[in-house]
Structure formats: structure tokens, C-alpha cells
Amino acid sequence: MKVPILLLLACLPLLPACQESATNTLQGYVEGEYVHLAAPFAGTLQTLAVQRGAQVKQGDPAFTLEQQNETAARQGATDRLHAAEAQLADLQSGKRPQELQVIRAQLTQAQAAAQLSATELQRVERLVKGRFISSDQLDTARTNNKLNQAKITELQAQLSVAELAARPDALKVAEANVAAARATLQQADWQLAQKTVTATRNGLVNDTYYQQGEWVPAGSPVLSILPPENRKVRFFIPEPQLGSLQTGQTVQVSCDGCGDSIPMKISYISPQAEYTPPVIYSKDSREKLVVMVEAVPDVADAPRLKVGQPVDVTP
């Protein structure tokens, strides 16, 4: 009986140190902030390019929804843009070449008729001067010559107008139609692109929520990704020890199977206490209060942590 008593007496001085060591170790767990990938439009899940547990990189294909409606809308927008551009080009170029050719032919005929009437006028003037015909025929020849000259002037004006572009107001309307059609096409391109979703971050595919062939509502996440930098540790410190911690301070975190302890920096300290007893505060009750603290590891150390895993934190 003396030996156990002596051992107990020898261990008594070490008990405060053991209690202090246990008190300095805080309990916590690993938390993850997931990135959820979704499409803004509804549709049937056509392809799912990733599996749960796979590692993905930013830009890798994630999933695709059926695109028949968006593809048809884009084709319609493309056709309307081509039509608007063709109408604008037509207004800018004036009348068609065939219409211009008709006016030019009419002008040639008028010029030939005017030349003939001018020759006839000269002949009639000589006959009247020689008193072979009456002066009435001279008036008729002069009138015909003036009419043919006026016809030439009219056709030349028509040709000038036909070669001009449309009026400025009509051109502005056509240009506005082209701009609106181009904007509609851009919108259709964007809507079509939204049916194909790629990974927005590097990380681990945590879970998938739909299978190929299932209907996915608009905005519903199809899968979640856990980036390495989104892992963190949450632990709780008693209220009396709160003054010993501050943001940016380094703590040591250890867990089962993690190997050496992992250094982490405190990123957040909750402004309010938790687990508050429903009684009037006293010195004893304050010792039961704890404050939640978050610490983040380096990206290289993050894969060593598993979400939900319990950890020990040493300030």
C-alpha cells in the first residue's frame, strides 16, 4: 500500500501542469464553403462531365442542359440580322442596277430625239427663210425641240436621284434595326452559352445532385465544388481566454491522420458569445460562455483536412 501512495504523492505536483496543458487545447472541427454550379435557365440534364470525388480545374466542362430552344432562337436572331443588314445596304446603294439601266435607256432615246428635232428645226428655219413653207411650221419645230430638251433634263434628274441613297431618316431607321437585331443575336448567344456550364474554381467535386435525363429547374445547383482555399477550422474558446487571441494570430491544428500539426491563421472571431446559460450572469456563469473562432490553413495544407473532421487547436 505504501508504493501506490508514494506514486500518487509524486504525481500531485504534476497535476496542475497536466490540467493547464489540457485547458490550452481547444476543440473544433473542419468546415467547408462550397461553390454551387447552376444554370440560370431550366432544362433536361444532357451531359454530366464530372463525378463526385473528382478534381476539376477552372474552365473544365461541368454539365450541359438541352439547347434546342436556345439554338432555334439564335438561328432566328441571325436571320433577322442578315435581313436588316441587307435592307440597310439596299437603302445606301440607291435603286437596283436594272432600274438604273431603264432610266439610262430612256435618256439615250430622249437625247436622240432631241438631236433629231434640232436638225429638223434648222431645216425648217432655212425653208421659212426661203419662203418655201409658212412660219407656223417653224413654231411647231421649235416647240418639239424644246420638249425633247426638257425630256433630257427630266431623265438626267431622275438618274441622279436614283443613284442617291435613301433619305437620312430612312437610313437612321434601317441602322437602328440592324443595331437591334445585333443586340438580339448577342442575347441569344448568351442564353445558349448559359446551357453549358464550366467549373468556376479549382477544387474537389463534393457532390452531384442530378442524373442525366432529369429535369433541372432554373437556378438549381447541379453539383458543388470545394476549393482548397475554402477549407477552414472552427473552434470555440472560453470567454475568459478571449483576450489572448486576435485576428491574424497563428494557431496549431492537429487531427487524427493529419500527421504533423498544421499552422493556421485566425481569420475571424465572432463578436458574440454562444451557449449562453438562461440565467443572470455571474462570475461562474461567464466561464461557461464560449466564442466561435475561425482559422484558415495555407492552400498547400488544406487537402490534409476533411470536412466535418474534429480537430485540436493550440493557440
> Is the model more confident about 132 or about 255?
255
Closest-CA residue to 227 (of 107, 63, 55, 27): 55
Residue range of the domain that includes 272: 23-33+227-314
Residue 238 lies in a domain: yes
Please check whether residues 202 and 57 belong to one and the same domain.
Answer: yes
d(C-alpha 123, C-alpha 132), whole Å: 11
**Quick one: 265 and 252 in the same domain?**
yes
Contacts of 12 (CB under 8 A, 6+ apart): none
Domains contained in the chain, number: 3
| CATH number for position 41 | 2.40.50.100
pLDDT per position as a tens digit, 117-172: 888 888 888 877 877 777 778 778 888 888 888 888 887 777 776 665 556 777 78
Do 135 and 278 share a domain, yes or no?
no
- φ, ψ of residue 273 to 5 degrees: the values are -80, 160
Residue 61: pLDDT above 70? yes
293 — pLDDT class (breaks 50, 70, 90): very high
Mean pLDDT of 74-81: 94
How high does pLDDT run on average in the chain?
83
CATH of the domain at 302: 2.40.30.170
Taking Cα atoms as reference points, which of 290, 273, 295 lies closest to residue 238? 290
Examine the pLDDT at 259 and tell me if it is beyond 90: no
**Same domain, residue pair 260 and 280:** yes
288 and 259 together in one domain? yes
Are both 132 and 219 inside the same structural domain? no
Shared-domain flag, residues 98 and 125: yes
Question: Is residue 92 in some structural domain?
Answer: yes
Residue 6 lies in a domain: no
Predicted confidence (pLDDT) per residue in 11-49, tens digit: 444 444 444 444 578 889 999 999 999 999 999 999 999
Residue 274: inside a domain: yes
Percent of the chain exceeding pLDDT 70 equals 83
Residue 13 lies in a domain: no
Q: Is residue 11 part of a domain?
A: no
Q: Do residue 166 and residue 203 come from a single domain?
A: no
The answer to whether position 16 is within a domain reads no
In a domain, residue 216? The reply is yes
